[in-house]
Amino acid sequence: GKNVLGLEYFSADEIELVLQTAKEMKNIIKRDIKKVPTLRGKAIVNLFYEPSTRTRSSFELAGKYLGADVINITAGSSSIVKGESLRDTLLTVEDMGIDAIVMRHKAEGAPEYATKVVKAAIVNAGDGAHAHPSQGLLDLFTIRQYKGGFKGIKCAIIGDILHSRVARSDIWGMRKMGIEVHLAGPKTLIPRFLYKEKGIFIHDRIEDAIENADVINVLRIQLERQKSGLFPSTREYARIFGLNDKRLALAKKDVLVMHPGPMNKGWEISPKVAYSSNSVIQEQVKNGVAVRMAILTLILTGGKGNEVIA
Ligand code: CP
């Protein structure tokens, strides 16, 4: 298919194809003139029902570097405010001759629904707590850039796993590539089904999850998705699960500190750790553009021999 809905639908070979293509794209971004004609004549819309800084602007830049025409529709400044339905919004966009829709929505499954409404390629840019596949891919790309590969890598993912689409995409992507995943967070924020998954280890204490880790991925506390308020409070959370200097010392010396952004500095991560030499948070943002260029190229040109992305 030509859609990118979630990494659970990707094979290891398909992930590999995206990462290899992203490497070529990163070389294009390093040039003085970043523009190539790969997607000239194609039209892409960013359709965002939820706020975004990184994902929306990096998909826009990615499309523009590849020569496509890119437009943005954000819920608050569109006819969605007047009550236009998702279905009618998708059909309206399709009528303009769009080739790909990059979509963020608060409802899990909204991008999959879109594949049934329009013929354009659909890229999930985050749907509720379900998936954020381009983030999962850029996280894998960043890990390989620094670690050379995935074999024998131990990654700790810390925080609110339950509400995190980033965690879900990271977990499925990392497991497919052979990374050992260790999770820690408030017990109520770790989904029960993960306890039964092979290669996933769940810890009560952050200290146990990050001991000897090669990578620590710190998740954002998502107050907007926690219907009954945060438990524990942000202050307690920082004390029990926050990544600080003392805890960082438990991991390997060359551990990578990652965070999808935006950060709540002082809550889930201390400012010192966020800007430490172990932090690759800014490189993640940089890699996001290359990985999104790879995704758009593969879905809109069929890749190098019509390899598919689920
Ligand atoms: N990581 C991420 O998805 O950031 P934005 O919400 O700013 O796009």
For the segment 226-263, what is each residue's pLDDT rounded down to a tens digit?
Answer: 766 666 688 888 999 999 999 999 999 999 999 999 99
Residues 100 and 126 in one domain: yes
pLDDT at 306 over 60: no
Mean local confidence (pLDDT), 198-226: 93
Catalytic residue among 21, 55, 89, 297: 55
Answer yes or no: is the C-beta of 260 below 6 A from any ligand 1 atom: yes
For ligand 1, pick from 46, 48, 52 the residue to mutate: most ligand atoms within 8 Å of CB.
52
Residues 119 and 85 in one domain: yes
Mean local confidence (pLDDT), 127-140: 98
Residues 203 and 64 in one domain: no
Q: How many CA atoms lie within 13 A of 81 on its CB side?
A: 6
Mean local confidence (pLDDT), 35-55: 97
Residue 49's domain comprises 7-131+285-301
Residues 28 and 103 in one domain: yes
Q: Are 219 and 147 in contact (CB under 8 A)?
A: no
For residue 2, is it within any domain? no
How many residues are listed for the chain in this entry? 310
Residues 167 and 25 in one domain: no
Any catalytic annotation for residue 55?
yes
CATH of the domain at 83: 3.40.50.1370
For residue 269, is it within any domain? yes
Any catalytic annotation for residue 54?
yes
Residue 110 has what pLDDT? 98
Any catalytic annotation for residue 132?
yes
Ligand 1 centroid, distance to 132 Cα (angstroms)? 9
Catalytic residue among 2, 26, 42, 104: 104
Residue 302 has what pLDDT? 78
Ligand 1 centroid, distance to 56 Cα (angstroms)? 8
Any catalytic annotation for residue 82?
yes
Answer yes or no: is the C-beta of 220 below 6 A from any ligand 1 atom: no
Residues at the binding site for carbamoyl phosphate are 54-55, 104, 132, 135, 261-262
**Nearest Cα to Cα of residue 158 among 308, 82, 264, 84:** 264
For residue 308, is it within any domain? no
Cα dist from 15 to 111, 293, 309, whole Å: 20, 14, 8
pLDDT tens, position by position, 61-103: 999 999 999 999 999 999 999 999 999 999 999 999 999 999 9
Q: Which of 17-21, 91-95, 161-165, 305-309 has the lowest average pLDDT?
A: 305-309
For residue 83, is it within any domain? yes
Complex confidence, ipTM: 0.97
Residue 230 has what pLDDT? 62
pTM greater than 0.80: yes
Answer yes or no: is the C-beta of 53 below 6 A from any ligand 1 atom: yes
Residues 213 and 154 in one domain: yes
pLDDT at 307 over 50: no
Residues 213 and 295 in one domain: no
Catalytic residue among 54, 247, 259, 292: 54
Residues 249 and 294 in one domain: no
Residues 186 and 82 in one domain: no
State the closest ligand 1 atom to the C-alpha of 261, by its place in the atom list counted from 1.
Answer: 1
Any catalytic annotation for residue 104?
yes
Residues 141 and 279 in one domain: yes
Q: Map the chain to HEC letters.
A: CCCECCHHHCCHHHHHHHHHHHHHHHHHHHCCCCCCCCCCCCEEEEEECCCCCHHHHHHHHHHHHCCCEEEEEEHHHCCCCCCCCHHHHHHHHHHCCCCEEEEEECCCCHHHHHHHHCCCEEEEEEECCCECHHHHHHHHHHHHHHHCCCCCCEEEEECCCCCCHHHHHHHHHHHHCCCEEEEECCHHHCCHHHHHCCCEEEECCHHHHHCCCCEEEECCCCHHHCCCCCCCCHHHHHHHHCECHHHHCCCCCCCEEECCCCCCECCCECHHHHCCCCECHHHHHHHHHHHHHHHHHHHHHCCCCCCCCC
For ligand 1, pick from 55, 170, 258 the residue to mutate: most ligand atoms within 8 Å of CB.
55
The amino acid that residue 166 corresponds to is V
Residues 199 and 67 in one domain: no
For residue 1, is it within any domain? no
**Nearest Cα to Cα of residue 124 among 46, 203, 12, 24:** 46
Total domains, the chain: 2
Ligand 1 centroid, distance to 305 Cα (angstroms)? 32
Answer yes or no: is the C-beta of 188 below 6 A from any ligand 1 atom: no
Residues 208 and 279 in one domain: yes
